[in-house]
Structure 1
Amino acid sequence: MELIKEDQQLFKLTAEDIMISSEKVAHVQLNNPLEHALLILVTSGYSAVPVLDSKYRFKGIIGKSSILNEIMGLERFEIENLTTTTVEAAMQTDVPCLPKSADLLTCLKALIDHSFICLVDDKNYFDGIVTRRAVLEQLNQFFHVNEKDLNQ
């Protein structure tokens, strides 16, 4: 299959072109109790959200499973931990981040193991996220437009 110039636009897309800006992304802060994080997760419908410090720098992500692990006792759920434990104690910090300038293929590779990737600037300020769905939509659109060429 030969790509025509218009089709090559797919490979020129950057994370910034398909990102959800930070203003529209549900997040929690380091010092929030787990109870607050769980409320944000349940009301937003997300399984995980970014964790930011008081200056909006990215620090990690918190998910429902991290919260459940934190309140799981030997014989019962220790619900009191929801109010006494902070997000910082339960969050994941070993998550990949990308700059807004990252190309679509770099985003795709990072999203293989994650449903979203956080975008940060050179000082780690949170710019937004790129979702696996957004990348797959771009790829689907590309393959749909080029379906004829692919079948030849």
Structure 2
Amino acid sequence: MLKRDQAGYLFERKITPFIIPKEQVVVVDPDWSLERALLVLTRKGTNSVPVINKVGQVEGLISKTEILDFMFKISQGNEIDFSQLSKYKVQEAMNKNHSGILANSIFSFAFEVLINRSYIPIIDIKGMFVGILTRKVMMEQVIEYFKEEYMNTVADQI
């Protein structure tokens, strides 16, 4: 059984070591066309990316689903005209409700935020994009922690 202070070690530590730096993250500009954004999403094999403005701040997220939903909304009939993608900008279709969390946030807060998201943008105190934190990385940390706890428990019983 985990002691309260042992569990605190994981959930009270900072997320900083787990952040994927911005240089390794695929991003799009809010002024890009939806066509260009969809091309980037498709070529990079990802469903969603942060939208970063020219000064380096997170404006939201854009995904293939949001692009399709936007195209459905503007379509005149039941068919989507993909030739229209070049006429619209990322900022018109992006999800603006994902501004990010601070880089010095604690593990438990980030873990809670990531429950229903695959990643979250990470920002500094000035609101500048630092990188992303993925649910996968967080889950790997939890699994590693519990493996270590299990091994310690088994070792204590021997």
2:144 aligned with 1:141: yes
Structure with a larger share of its residues in helix: 2
The farther-off stretch of 96-105 and 136-145 is 96-105
Say what the alpha-carbon RMSD is for the aligned residues: 2.2
Q: Specify the structure having the higher radius of gyration (Cα).
A: 2
Between the aligned partners of 2:150 and 2:69, the Cα distance in structure 1 is 46
Report the equivalent of 1:35.
35
- Equivalenced residues, count: 151
Unaligned runs of 5+ in 1: none
Between the aligned partners of 2:144 and 2:99, the Cα distance in structure 1 is 26
Q: What TM-score does the superposition give when structure 2 sets the normalisation length?
A: 0.87
Report the equivalent of 2:103.
100
Unaligned runs of 5+ in 2: none
- 1:20-66 Cα deviation digits (max 9, x unpaired): 00111000001000011111111111110000111111100000001
Percent same amino acid at aligned positions?
Answer: 27
Counterpart secondary structure, 2:82: coil
Q: What TM-score does the superposition give when structure 1 sets the normalisation length?
A: 0.90
Contact 2:28–2:37 (Cα < 8 Å) also in 1: yes
Contact 2:60–2:99 (Cα < 8 Å) also in 1: no
Contact 2:56–2:128 (Cα < 8 Å) also in 1: yes
Counterpart secondary structure, 2:116: coil
- Which aligned pairs between 1:2-151 and structure 2 lie closer than 5 A? 2-3=2-3, 9-72=9-72, 73=75, 74-95=77-98, 97-148=100-151, 149=153
Between the aligned partners of 1:16 and 1:35, the Cα distance in structure 2 is 34
In structure 2, do the counterparts of structure 1 residues 6 and 117 end up closer, same or farther at CA, with 3 Å as the change threshold?
Answer: same
Contact 1:28–1:52 (Cα < 8 Å) also in 2: yes
